[in-house]
Amino acid sequence: MIVLGIETSCDETAAAVVTDGREVRADLVLSQLDEHAPYGGVVPEIAARAHIDHLDGLIARAMDQAGLDFAALDGVAATAGPGLIGAVMVGLMTGKAIAAVHSLPLVALNHLEGHALSVRLVERVEFPYLLLLVSGGHCQLLIVEEVARYRRLGTTIDDAVGEAFDKAAKVLGLGYPGGPAIEQAARDGRADRFQLPRPLKGRAGCDFSFSGLKTALLHLVRAREQAKGGVLTAGERADLAAAFQGAVIDVLLDRTRNAIQLFRARQPRGDTLVVAGGVAANAALRARLQPLAEAGGLRLVVPPAALCTDNAAMIAWAGIERLQRGLSDGLDASPRARWPLDPEAEAPPGMGQPGRLGPKA
């Protein structure tokens, strides 16, 4: 089985060709970092227009690299959400057009399922497994029971972890994207110089919160700047980056520890903790998750960095997994800005409730 994958949920335009033998015949990603960097974050309209400009050519290059024409495909998988709705529409409509013209089955895929199953493209991880999904738009702990079967244990009540990194980097003047910028600066910093809160740490449950941590960093930076009557020094930026990264990792580990206990109780056969999403590329996070997983009787598996960030290879692979189980979608499949992997999961306490400084996301 050979499937073309298309990914346009945010600010990466991506196309890939993957086989059911776990062979990646082509995997192309066109980043839009230069377009969005001046704004310190992704501008939806710019992202959608960039996808329109580049997606057709990227698909043609992927097919050429794979040495195939569309007649050789067994299906098309395109991200249908969640994401920036204008960006999602570009990729999904392109996938629909290819499927319609060449009479191919279409998989209108949940982008989060692509992340959830990406590890199985490179390693034979058996179901069920525990998933820590950490990216720019999502922060969740889920039990992956099977393809199309997910049970959410926890989610963020406000900011996603990648979004928190981006905002923290902007406060510190470290540029965009924030995750890699914070990680690089933190390597030269002392995490114990500044004290930052660990929201929800030590509490029951598996939900996350990063809004208060981000605000605490903002107040700390403003206080330092006012006290000195100027901008932060490079050393202060490094120390603050290290303190922020350390606080984020402490929260992630605490919530994951609770999830491991729930997972072992509910799925005694499960033996794997998988970390996926763009933030999974953070080396400090990986290093601290390893002993946590071992203490919980689980092995830690993290996909290669190229499969952690948004890419089309994971979309093609998830499409293969669905097609192998007879799951496909009609050409009337709708793009979705929001699309939970576990639609039956209840919203965590506090989500959507007003905070001291306004309503939470």
Q: Kindly report, residue by residue over 203-235, the tens digit of the pLDDT.
A: 999 999 999 999 999 999 999 998 877 788 999
Return the DSSP state at 334: P
Give the global pTM. 0.93
- Give the model's pLDDT for residue 360: 46
Of 264, 310, 22, 286, the closest CA to residue 143 belongs to 264
Pick the CATH number of 126-302 from 3.40.50.300, 3.30.420.10, 3.40.1010.10, 3.30.420.40: 3.30.420.40
Of 139, 114, 339, the closest CA to residue 259 belongs to 139
Q: To 10 degrees, what angle do helices 85-101 and 44-66 make?
A: 30
Distance of CA 261 to the CA centre of its chain: 23
Of 135, 201, 197, the closest CA to residue 163 belongs to 135
Q: Kindly report, residue by residue over 269-289, the tens digit of the pLDDT.
A: 999 999 999 999 999 999 999
Q: To 10 degrees, what angle do helices 283-295 and 234-266 make?
A: 30
Going across the sheet that includes 272-276, the strands are 149-155, 139-146, 129-134, 272-276, 299-301
Residue 105, token pair as written in the block: 């089955």
Residue 141, token pair as written in the block: 């702990």
Can you name the residues that pair with 132 across neighbouring β-strands? 141, 275
Query: Are the beta carbons of 218 and 160 closer than 8 angstroms?
Result: no
Q: What is the mean pLDDT of residues 24-29?
A: 98
Of the two residues 246 and 226, the one the predictor is more confident about is 246
- Give the model's pLDDT for residue 353: 67
DSSP string, 144-170: EEETTEEEEEEEBSS--HHHHHHHHHH
pLDDT at 47 over 70: yes
Q: What is the mean pLDDT of residues 239-257?
A: 98
Q: What is the mean pLDDT of residues 9-19?
A: 96
pLDDT at 357 over 60: no
pLDDT confidence band for 35 (50 / 70 / 90):
confident
Q: Kindly report, residue by residue over 53-79, the tens digit of the pLDDT.
A: 999 999 999 999 999 999 999 999 999
pLDDT at 361 over 60: no
Residues of the chain with CATH 3.30.420.40: 2-118+310-324, 126-302
pLDDT at 119 over 90: yes
30: three-class secondary structure by DSSP: strand
Q: What is the mean pLDDT of residues 162-188?
A: 94
CATH architecture of residue range(s) 2-118+310-324: 2-Layer Sandwich (3.30)
pLDDT confidence band for 348 (50 / 70 / 90):
confident
